[in-house]
Amino acid sequence: MLTKGGIRLRVLLVLAIILLVNFLASRFFLRLDFTGDKRYTLSQATKDILKDLEETVTVTAYFSENMPPNLDRVKTSFEDLLTEYANRSGGNIEYKFVNPNESDEIEQTAMKEGMQPGTVNVRERDQMKQQRVYLGAKFDYKDQSEVIPIMTQEGTMEYAMSSAIKKISAINKPKIGFVGGHNEPGLDAMQQVKETLEVLYNPQTALLSDTALVNDFETLVIVAPKDTISPEEIANLDNFLNSGKGVLIALNRVDANLQTGSGTEIYTGLETWLESKGISVNANFVTDVNSGNITMQRQQGFFTINEQVKFPYLPLIKNFADHPITKGLEQLILPFASSITYTATDADATFTPIAYTSDRSGIEQPPLTFDATLLQKEWTTADFPTSRLTVAGTWEKGLSKIVVYGDGDFAVNGMGQQAQGLSPDNINLLANGIDWLSDDTGLTDLRNKVVTSRPIEKELDDSERTLVKYGNFFLPIFLIIFYGFIRSQIRKSRKKKWMSERYV
């Protein structure tokens, strides 16, 4: 039996352990990561970036106070990550938190620094009101600075932070040449790609007529050329590849002009060069039962209604190989894509398909007419007789590499009022290809680290969906009740045994 002195001693011991744990926690930062994609574990790329810092990076975090729980959790995660960065950097990361809502002067400073406020609904004294919140940060290194205007996703924090630090601290970034001169979209028409690449590279326009390509550029990128490439330019391209460098080609073999309703073949000369490597980007239109939508105008009475309809010529690609270029991608649209086939012409070369259509896809040959009849067509299973057509792949021979996509428009935003935002996966498919050809930092893996969803791969019918829905709801309740019942029976059994032993 415990005495008062023994109880007192145990209480003091517990208090001493708590104080010791708190002391150690204040000196050492540790967190356990049980997520499937290890989103709370610093990647090797981040560790290398922090190790290479020559001077201190100052981080000014503009985060509001008293935010709703979901946003307050973002702030906590950001602060935890900053703490880990500071510990890993050997003191080369310093940070402070500033509340822009504290005064008008501080808020004006935050906005001048590039912070973008958001608006959330909060309850105060039984009333709902709107509150301006800030969740951004500014990174300063030497005379360079980079801003994260707003951050709401915990899973993307490490990439955003490491990219910002890499962007302001990197020197002598490799030059990536975007080939021009054949009516290709310029870098200004690929703004999202350009912003993504500028973290690690110096993207510039290149001309295939330049004989100094090998010395000037790490990788060449050819996106959607429309005019013919001359034999002299093809020879320079071949010399660049044979020097052990990489070439990325996003090629349109067909053109769909919905204004005129015509679908035609395109020939630039790259097709013949690729065929000499065994790669054929076929002059056809890929169709898929999984597709994007197109806006169609429909007359209803006196009104014209814009209606979104599935358009199989905009295949939605969800099938990817286990490859660094496609790691982390979930789905993307390749508008008016063409299939890719490979015929081995060199025993030392290998071709790897990395993206495919679904199990219900098809091919249509140009010329095509995209008229109202086609837009309103009722598509059936017979229209999709093929499966898993290759729409992207890589070619390797020694140090020489080619990445080829059967579409040239999937990462092009456009210019002026025609510009449109594209999904991150569309941008990452092109950026990842360039990284695979050019980058050895590992930041590519970090960009694709986050898994945003884990869909059930099998297509479920209505009854199966209902079973999954209610199973997810009732199964946990049943398990809790079952656990309570088992625990109750165990306690009754122990009590009965204890009573029998006591009265024997």
Structure confidence at residue 299 (pLDDT): 63
Torsional sign, CA 482, 488, 491, 496:
negative
- Residue 503 in this model has a pLDDT that exceeds 60: no
Instruction: Give the Cα separation of 291 and 361 in Å (integer).
Output: 10
Among 15-24, 101-110, 154-163, the least confident range? 15-24
Cα dihedral 463/464/467/470 (nearest 10): -90
In degrees rounded to 5, what are phi and psi of residue 240? -60, -45
Contact predicate 425/329, CB 8 Å: yes
- Residue 2 in this model has a pLDDT that exceeds 80: no
Say if strands 303-317 and 285-288 run parallel, antiparallel, or are unpaired: unpaired
Residue 10's pLDDT band (cuts 50, 70, 90): confident
Structure confidence at residue 319 (pLDDT): 96
- Residue 454 in this model has a pLDDT that exceeds 60: no
Structure confidence at residue 317 (pLDDT): 97
Residue 451's pLDDT band (cuts 50, 70, 90): very low
Contact predicate 242/400, CB 8 Å: yes
Average pLDDT over residues 169-174: 85
Instruction: Give the Cα separation of 267 and 114 in Å (integer).
Output: 45
Structure confidence at residue 158 (pLDDT): 87
What does the H/E/C string look like for 211-252? CCHHHHCCEEEEECCCCCCCHHHHHHHHHHHHCCCEEEEECC
pLDDT averaged over the chain?
86
Structure confidence at residue 402 (pLDDT): 98
Within 8 A by CB and 6+ apart from 483, the residues are: none
184-231: per-residue pLDDT in tens?
999 999 999 999 998 889 999 999 999 899 999 999 999 999 999 999
Average pLDDT over residues 39-60: 85
Among 66-75, 86-95, 147-156, 261-270, the least confident range? 147-156
- Residue 492 in this model has a pLDDT that exceeds 50: yes
Average pLDDT over residues 399-427: 93
According to CATH, what is the number of the domain 26-167?
3.40.30.10
Q: DSSP readout, 299-351?
A: EETTEEEEEEEEEEEEEEE-EE-SSTTTTT---EE-TT---EEE----TT-EE
Structure confidence at residue 480 (pLDDT): 87
Structure confidence at residue 373 (pLDDT): 73
Q: 3-state DSSP helix/strand/coil percent for the chain, to nearest 5?
A: 35, 25, 35
Among 364-378, 420-434, 490-504, the least confident range? 490-504
Shortest CA distance to 287 belongs to which of 197, 352, 365?
A: 365
57-104: per-residue pLDDT in tens?
999 999 998 888 888 889 998 999 999 999 989 889 999 999 999 999
- Give alpha helix (H) positions in 325-461: 372-375, 424-438, 443-447
Q: What percent of the chain has pLDDT over 70?
A: 86
Enter the DSSP assignment of 261. Answer: T
> Tokens 């090797």, residue?
44
Cβ neighbours of 386 (radius 10 Å): 16
Structure confidence at residue 172 (pLDDT): 83
- Residue 179 in this model has a pLDDT that exceeds 50: yes
Structure confidence at residue 57 (pLDDT): 95
* Ranges of each domain in the chain: 26-167, 173-447, 461-497
- Give alpha helix (H) positions in 52-187: 69-88, 104-112, 157-169
467 or 207, which is more confident: 207
| 3-state SS class at 2 | coil
93-104: per-residue pLDDT in tens?
999 999 999 999
- Residue 181 in this model has a pLDDT that exceeds 60: yes
- Residue 30 in this model has a pLDDT that exceeds 80: no
Shortest CA distance to 137 belongs to which of 203, 193, 85?
A: 85
Instruction: Give the Cα separation of 431 and 325 in Å (integer).
Output: 8
463 or 485, which is more confident: 485
Q: What pTM, to 2 d.p., does this model score?
A: 0.74
| 3-state SS class at 70 | helix
Q: What is the largest CA-CA distance in the chain?
A: 105
Catalogue the E-assigned strands of 26-85.
57-63
Q: How far is CA 348 from CA 14, 155, 254, 396, 471, in A?
A: 68, 41, 31, 8, 53
238-249: per-residue pLDDT in tens?
999 999 999 999
Torsional sign, CA 262, 368, 389, 382:
positive
Contact predicate 319/355, CB 8 Å: yes
Among 121-125, 250-254, 386-390, 435-439, the least confident range? 121-125
Instruction: Give the Cα separation of 73 and 410 in Å (integer).
Output: 35
Instruction: Give the Cα separation of 227 and 66 in Å (integer).
Output: 58
- Residue 152 in this model has a pLDDT that exceeds 90: no
Structure confidence at residue 23 (pLDDT): 64
| 3-state SS class at 11 | helix
Q: How far is CA 201 from CA 187, 207, 219, 478, in A?
A: 13, 18, 10, 55
- Residue 318 in this model has a pLDDT that exceeds 90: yes
Q: What percent of the chain has pLDDT over 90?
A: 53
Superfamily of domain 173-447: Class I glutamine amidotransferase (GATase) domain (3.40.50.880)
Say if strands 246-250 and 400-405 run parallel, antiparallel, or are unpaired: parallel
